[in-house]
Amino acid sequence: MNWKFSTASELFARLDESGLDLPAYLLARESFYAGKTEMELREEIARRIRVTKAALDRGIREPQVSFSGMTQGGAAKLAHSESWPVEDDLFRRALTYALAINEVNACGGKVVAFPTAGSCGIAPGLLWAYRDARDAALGPDHPRFQDAFIVASAVGMLIAARATLAGAAGGCQAECGAAAAMAAAGLAWLLGEDERGSLDAAALALKNTLGLVCDPIAGLVEVPCTKRNAFMAAEALTAVCLKRAGISSVIPFDEVLGAMKMIGDSMPSTLKESAEGGLAATPTGLSYWEKIK
Amino acid sequence: MTATTTGILDILGPVMIGPSSSHTAGVARIAFLARKIFPYPLLRARVSFYGSLARTYRGHGSDKAALAGLLGILPEDERLGYARELAEREGLAYEIVPVYEGPERYHPNTAVIELWAADESGEKSAERYIRIRGASIGGGEIRLQSIGGFEADLDGSLDALLVLHRDEIGVIAIISHILAANRFNIASAVSHRKDKGDEALLVIEVDGVVPAGIVAQVRELPAVREVVYVPSIRA
């Protein structure tokens, strides 16, 4: 078996050669490299999915308040809001869950970086929202639910190979942008898209966040990060809505990654997680340096 | 472009204490590996943060993460949050140094770990010092790029043997023979020497876990000065 790929087109070639679908191929590959059985790997994936659920529940149940004071139990407010202008249960849960998980992270709780900690609410938030709103049969031990996380991981692997998943190297397009693309691919897979369709949904999402800067106030993973997790869950959902309507990305996934890499490289370091530019450099943003001393 | 070696559990992970995979979990992993490479009773430690880490380590708890790693605590462990108190309880003297103007060639998220070990009498010893430079490259993934003055590229994905030896004919062959005879597959072996005939650092990544007895065989070779066994940081 050939386990080597660095682009989506190479990955598709591997799938065509092997006759496996994307989750089966990646599990077999990981089993080969890590020396673990596919069942052991699935158990570990299930364990990590359960950690995302624990963070989600905690973020809603216990209003998360951070040391800096910038995080003030937003997810708990959303969960109990009676002023939603939108009726859709999936949408409401996606926003609430993504925010809940990321607020737990901001407050130093236990999460799963997916792909990073600052973006850890987006994909699990959206996938759990789909589970709770539309398909209660799914869950950590359900192979299809695990497969959605695996497809999302594949998007992260490809972004890491061609561009980066570090805000310090590529700005927030590489973190929350990447996570939204991963979430879109995972949900598209759950809805029945194949590999190409799922990666096309990822491309739609990723294009919308190219150039997104990483300008965290006082260098904390809080503002704009936590609320951005909610926004990005909505973006990922939008990408899947477009894809399911038959709308495709004009620029293929691999080429979007090339653009992402070029944009990240040309972004000034003041806008790449250095806390020296953007929101971090505003008067209010600067005032938080004093508050956390 | 080289093929990706990243797997599902690298992206869906690590399970970690927040708030930052690169600035918290990655730093803990760098320090954890540094401590494995330098397994002596510590006298003191200095952690220098470069680039983004220098400016933002407080808010990310990178200092706590580094101390946690030095105490053998991995990013998933809730004790990471209390690492400062734990370090004090263990009597670990440390300083955290932000370096705002670092060398251009350093990765934008770099931590340099310097460790000093006590000798038998508990006094400071000139022999027992190491400087390890690690880059946190995103999502908790790391690379140790410099180990004790030798260039390196260790990512902690596999168990590794670090062998400090005299640069002479046959040393690498003998070590690979020992591993092969015990049916261990070498995933990679890279030798870094300071000068011809001088000291060299051999970094061997292996599939599986090499028992202490085999590590001891390597240690007994005449040209070998020191061997440390560094376990994988992957779950």
Domains and CATH numbers, chain B: 15-155 (3.30.1330.90), 158-235 (3.30.70.260)
For the CA atoms of A46, A179, B22, A71, what is the dihedral angle to 10 degrees? -90
Determine contact, residues A228/A176, Cβ cutoff 8 Å.
yes
Q: Count CB atoms within 10 A of the CB of residue A9.
A: 12
Among residues 145-184 of chain A, which lie with CB inside 8 Å of chain B? 149-150, 152-154, 156-158, 160-162, 164-169, 174, 182
Q: How many whole angstroms separate alpha carbon B91 and alpha carbon B44? A: 9
The token pair at A243 is 């894809």
Per-residue pLDDT at B126: 57
Give residue limits of the domains in chain A.
20-291
Q: How many whole angstroms separate alpha carbon B142 and alpha carbon B31? A: 11
CB–CB contact A106 B13 (8 Å): no
Residue with tokens 């979430």: A183
Chain B residue nearest residue A2, CA to CA: B3
The per-residue pLDDT for range A15-74, each reduced to its tens digit, is 999 999 999 999 999 999 888 999 999 999 999 999 999 999 999 999 999 988 999 999
CB–CB contact A7 B15 (8 Å): no
DSSP letters of A55-77?
Answer: HHHHHHHS--B-TTS--B-HHHH
Per-residue pLDDT at B122: 54
H helix runs in chain B, sequence order: 8-11, 26-37, 52-60, 62-70, 83-89, 171-181, 212-219
CB–CB contact A157 B4 (8 Å): yes
Q: How far out from the chain centre does Cα B120 lie?
A: 24
Chain A residues touching B50 at Cβ < 8 A: none
CB–CB contact A220 B59 (8 Å): yes
CB–CB contact A169 B61 (8 Å): no
Q: How many whole angstroms separate alpha carbon B18 and alpha carbon A97? A: 17
CB–CB contact A106 B18 (8 Å): yes
Per-residue pLDDT at A180: 98
Nearest to B109 among A6, A29, A166 (CB): A166
Per-residue pLDDT at A291: 80
Query: Which residues are CB-neighbours of A27 under 8 A, at least 6 positions away?
Result: A38, A41, A42, A150, B8
Determine contact, residues B22/B16, Cβ cutoff 8 Å.
no
The per-residue pLDDT for range B86-130, each reduced to its tens digit, is 999 999 999 999 999 899 899 989 999 999 997 666 555 556 899
Burial-class residue B91 by CB neighbours within 10 Å (0-12, 13-18, 19+). Answer: exposed
Burial-class residue B191 by CB neighbours within 10 Å (0-12, 13-18, 19+). Answer: middle
Determine contact, residues B207/B155, Cβ cutoff 8 Å.
no
Q: Count CB atoms within 10 A of the CB of residue B151.
A: 11
The residue count of chain A comes to 293
Chain A residues touching B3 at Cβ < 8 A: 3-6, 10, 161
Q: Count CB atoms within 10 A of the CB of residue B75.
A: 27
The per-residue pLDDT for range B3-14, each reduced to its tens digit, is 888 999 999 999
Edge-first strand listing for the sheet containing B124-138: B93-99, B42-51, B109-118, B124-138, B141-147, B150-154
CB–CB contact B16 A117 (8 Å): yes
b (16+ CB within 10 A) / e for A40-65: ebbebbbebbebbbebbebbbebbbe
Query: Which residues are CB-neighbours of A95 under 8 A, at least 6 positions away?
Result: A78, A125, A230, A233, A234
Q: Which residues of chain B have pLDDT under 50?
A: none
Chain B residues touching A35 at Cβ < 8 A: 207-208
| Probe site for chain A from B8, B157, B184 (most A CB atoms < 10 A) | B8
Parallel, antiparallel or unpaired: strands B42-51 and B93-99:
parallel
Nearest to A4 among B3, B55, B76 (CB): B3
CB–CB contact B8 A27 (8 Å): yes
Which amino acid does the sequence have at A125?
Answer: G
Nearest to B7 among A33, A109, A114 (CB): A33
Burial-class residue B218 by CB neighbours within 10 Å (0-12, 13-18, 19+). Answer: buried
Q: How many whole angstroms separate alpha carbon B126 and alpha carbon B13? A: 39
Q: Which residues of chain A have pLDDT under 50?
A: none
The token pair at B214 is 């085999």
CB–CB contact A221 B59 (8 Å): yes
Determine contact, residues A172/A208, Cβ cutoff 8 Å.
no
Q: How many whole angstroms separate alpha carbon B109 and alpha carbon A201? A: 31
The answer, for A281 touching chain B at a CB cutoff of 8 Å, is no
DSSP letters of A16-41?
Answer: HHH---HHHHHHHHHHHHHT--HHHH
Q: Count CB atoms within 10 A of the CB of residue B46.
A: 15
The token pair at A245 is 């309507």
Q: Count CA within 13 A, CB hemisphere, residue A243.
A: 30
Cα distance from A23 to chain B (closest Cα, Å)? 10
Q: How many CB pairs under 8 A join A and B?
A: 199
Chain A residue nearest residue B157, CA to CA: A34
Cα distance from A86 to chain B (closest Cα, Å)? 31
Residue with tokens 């679908």: A21
The answer, for B17 touching chain A at a CB cutoff of 8 Å, is yes
H helix runs in B38-170, sequence order: 52-60, 62-70, 83-89
Chain B residues touching A120 at Cβ < 8 A: 18, 21
